[in-house]
Amino acid sequence: MNEQLLDYTLRLADTALILGHRLSEWCGHAPALEQDIALSNIALDHIGQARNYYQYAAKIQNMGKTEDDLAYFRDERAYRNLLLVELPNGDFGKTLMRQFLYDAYHVPFLELLQSSKDENLAAIAAKSLKEARYHLQWSAEWVIRLGDGTAYSHQRVQQALNELWRFTGELITPNTIDSFLRSYEISADLNQVQLAWEKTVLEVLKRATLVVPTQKWMQKGGKEGIHTESLGYILAEMQHLQRTHPNCNW
Amino acid sequence: MNLTIIWQLLETVCDPEVPVLSILDLGIVRDVAQIKEQIVITITPTYSGCPAMNVIEMDIRGVLGAAGFKNIAIKNVLSPAWTTDWLSEQGKNKLKAYGIAPPVESSGHVRVLFGRSPVVECPQCGSKKTQMVSLFGSTACKAMYQCLDCLEPFDYFKCLK
């Protein structure tokens, strides 16, 4: 069971790290100072959450590795993050939409994970949940503001929604690891997450006057390490220093 | 050994980002215990990514070390998760005097979506006519507000429950 638990914990860690990394790319570039600060704060929360998951993953692995080894010395195929979070930022509207689609999943996911039979995951989830609620409030309000804003902002976020939609199925579709750990009441029940996710997404998109895409086909693979072309570039940038000068310090 | 002295020393360790608060005001010291010759201090982070935690650990070692306590272990725990309910009354008063509005008690459940922002009193003039400028501020634990009477911008130490 350790093998599955490690895979699951790494998925949570990788997803948090990659999303945090993506959001941090906005630092100094957001359209307004307040939103620049908001994006950096949210990035920091995700990276903090990633550290907690990586520290736990290193313990499960029990091979004397650290959180840094796990983040910096694994290749693309070993990464287990959800595809949605590795997609490029695009414009501010696309980043916002990606964040909203993720937050609407992240909050109910953590609400369930905090009752996990694995007490470490439960503790990290309970901690992260308080932060995720603020993220969702922020991203949902922005989706509404841009969707129900000008004709141009509406068109831009609608386009973002259409482009991102096919990456949302993976959030709420269990793979073999999810199902296996579900039988031990360790992983979150994604059927319940799905219900909550759909409710939030439909409500917010309606308020934002956006049209829910009808596309049914969903892209998957992140949970198994099969990624889009974007992940390799992120890892190249993120891991470059440690790969060049292994274990270097400040 | 009487651990009161340790608690007294910890009272002098400040949050590097909100230096008016001691780590006891902040409620992040969860336990002080003696295990054989070692003093074990248990702390919990406010936010997962709080960059102050490393500095706080170093400061604890510094203050206790200077008082002659060298054999120290600092343990980080996540559960139960920190909440602004653990801010002491003294801490809230200190915040206000410093110009940061303390967290406003919300009634029980945190509203996630479309919740109206709480009525936050301006720490400068006491007016309740204030508005939120941004949900996120200069540190993870703060939001940005503005007073509509005296027009001063100010930080609000946001509720975390």
Q: What is the ipTM of this complex?
A: 0.89
Q: How many alpha carbons fall within 13 Å on the CB side of residue A97?
A: 29
A131 vs B78: CB contact, 8 Å cut-off? no
> Any chain B CB within 8 A of the CB of A45?
yes
Q: What is the DSSP string of A95-143?
A: HHHHHHHHHHHHHHHHHHHTT-SSHHHHHHHHHHHHHHHHHHHHHHHHH
Under a CB-based contact definition with an 8 Å cutoff, are residues A120 and A103 in contact?
no
Residue B156's φ and ψ, nearest 5 degrees, are -120, 125
What was the pLDDT predicted at B109?
43
Encode pLDDT of B12-61 as tens digits: 999 998 999 999 999 999 999 999 999 999 999 999 988 889 999 999 99
Average pLDDT over residues B70-76: 94
A48 vs B137: CB contact, 8 Å cut-off? no
Q: How many other C-beta atoms lie within 10 A of the C-beta of residue B145? A: 25
pTM of the model: 0.94
B158 vs A128: CB contact, 8 Å cut-off? no
- Position B130: which residue type? T
Cα gap A107→B112, rounded to integer Å: 9
The 8-class DSSP code of residue A168 comes to S
> Any chain B CB within 8 A of the CB of A24?
no
Mutation for testing the B interface, residue in A35, A99, A137 having most B CBs under 10 Å: A137
What was the pLDDT predicted at A106?
98
Q: What is the pLDDT along chain A (250 residues), one digit of tens a residue?
A: 899 999 999 999 999 999 999 999 999 999 999 999 999 999 999 999 999 999 999 999 999 999 999 999 999 999 999 999 999 999 999 999 999 999 999 999 999 999 999 999 999 999 999 999 999 999 999 999 999 999 999 999 999 999 999 999 999 999 999 999 999 999 999 999 999 999 999 999 999 999 999 999 999 999 999 999 999 999 999 999 999 999 888 7
For the purposes of burial, counting CB atoms within 10 Å of the CB of A55, is it exposed (0-12), middle (13-18) or buried (19 or more)? middle
A38 vs B135: CB contact, 8 Å cut-off? yes
Cα gap A213→B36, rounded to integer Å: 64
Cα gap A29→A27, rounded to integer Å: 6
Strands lying side by side in the sheet with B38-43: B29-35, B38-43, B72-76
Cα gap A120→A78, rounded to integer Å: 22
Strands B153-157 and B100-101: parallel
Give the model's confidence band at B3: pLDDT under 50 very low, under 70 low, under 90 confident, else very high: very high
- Using the CB atoms, write b or e for B54-93: b if 16+ within 10 Å: eebbebbbebbeeeebeeeebeeebeebbebebbeeebbe
Compute the nearest-CA separation of B2 from chain A (Å).
Answer: 31
In this structure, what token pair is assigned to residue A192?
Answer: 């319940």
Residues in chain A with CB shorter than 8 Å from the CB of B51 are: 44
Rg (CA), chain A: 18
- The closest CB to that of B78, out of A37, A45, A123, belongs to A123
Mutation for testing the A interface, residue in B131, B136, B156, B159 having most A CBs under 10 Å: B136
> Any chain B CB within 8 A of the CB of A170?
no
B136 vs A37: CB contact, 8 Å cut-off? yes
